[in-house]
Structure 1
């Protein structure tokens, strides 16, 4: 299967980009720089979420019809920046306070696309004071636009409870 027969976003979503792209590696310094920038962008995402800051979210996400979010509570995927933005408004309204973090995410960046995979931990309180804690397995995909890494997909699925 050649890369020209599949668009880049589809290849990323399927996890095939490393397989379908030529085996030309960038210098280690450039790769490290991209990974550090991606790590900073994802940290900014979690900070914006934890402070329920929609303005910060707006800066961190691409504003296209292609951006996608699937939250642990989602019934269907959300497509387009306006739908994703509304989902964060609704999520933030469900909490009096919230914090979300990920420990030791796996980060890979290649040809202007980065994917970050890890386990998220969300803790917070509902407006009535009820405590809530949840763990999810998450994937964040970012695209490099100019000199910035912008979120184009956030997918978090709840982890099974035993």
Structure 2
């Protein structure tokens, strides 16, 4: 894109109008003086719920699930059976177990989300590597850039972020956070407010982060962020 090439490189979290997806099928992801070609742009929206401030060292672990002996699908099935058989005492017990499992899973996904943003905030490439699932199915969409697929390419894109000529840690506030979990998949939607040291303005992105549970631990497998202007 000739127009993009003429624009000075800047961090994506700096305030800017989002590029139009209709102008080109390919866009360039820029951090500092480096670039990586992506594929296709999309956008997303979030609904307001609450505000979360991401701080270094926050939520270093995930809640234990060792006491949960049945998965969500089994509990849902047993609950429906108990209701059909009018065994309301058992139904109440199963409903409580299901609520505990769902709350535990949401907490664990939020903890994984915090680990991801702590790695981003601190420019910590080692921590960023540890937060991502491995495989060709993972992908990232940075603002004003295309889809970058596969673990190796995703990590290369984060290497560019962490090696950029900006002073870390960044200041990152998350707003309008929602978390949803179904079985071994969960996702978080939020509004990212990102500011570099000494800057007076915030970059605003809407983001969707998808997580998968592997061997009892949650890993991010999709990060999709797009510029947002009110």
Q: TM-score range by the shorter chain?
A: 0.7 to 0.9
**Matched residue, 1:63:** 134
Give the conservation status (yes or no) of the 8 Å contact 1:49–1:99.
Answer: no
Cα pair distance change 1:103/1:160, threshold 3 Å = closer
**RMSD after superposition:** 2.3
**Matched residue, 2:210:** 141
- Structure-2-length-normalised TM-score: 0.55
Deviation digits for residues 13-42 of structure 1 (CA, Å, limit 9, x no counterpart): xxxxxxxx9xx4770000000000011110
Between structure 1 and structure 2, the one with the greater Rg is 2
**Which has the higher relative contact order, 1 or 2, with Cα contacts under 8 A spaced 6 or more apart?**
2
**How do 1:2-151 and structure 2 match up within 5 A?**
24=76, 27-74=98-145, 76-94=146-164, 95-97=166-168, 98-125=170-197, 133-151=202-220
Q: In structure 1, how many angstroms separate the alpha carbons of the residues matched to 2:200 and 2:143?
A: 17
Give the conservation status (yes or no) of the 8 Å contact 2:208–2:224.
Answer: yes
> Unaligned regions of 5+ residues in structure 1, if any?
1-20
Deviation digits for residues 56-99 of structure 1 (CA, Å, limit 9, x no counterpart): 1111100111101001131x100011111111111223322223
Cα pair distance change 1:34/1:160, threshold 3 Å = same
Number of equivalenced pairs: 137
Q: In structure 1, how many angstroms separate the alpha carbons of the residues matched to 2:134 and 2:200?
A: 33
The structure 1 segments of at least 4 consecutive aligned residues displaced by more than 6 Å after TM superposition are: none
* Greater share of residues in strand: 1
- Structure-1-length-normalised TM-score: 0.76
- Give the superposition deviation at 1:47: 0.8
Q: In structure 1, how many angstroms separate the alpha carbons of the residues matched to 2:106 and 2:199?
A: 37
Cα pair distance change 1:96/1:35, threshold 3 Å = same
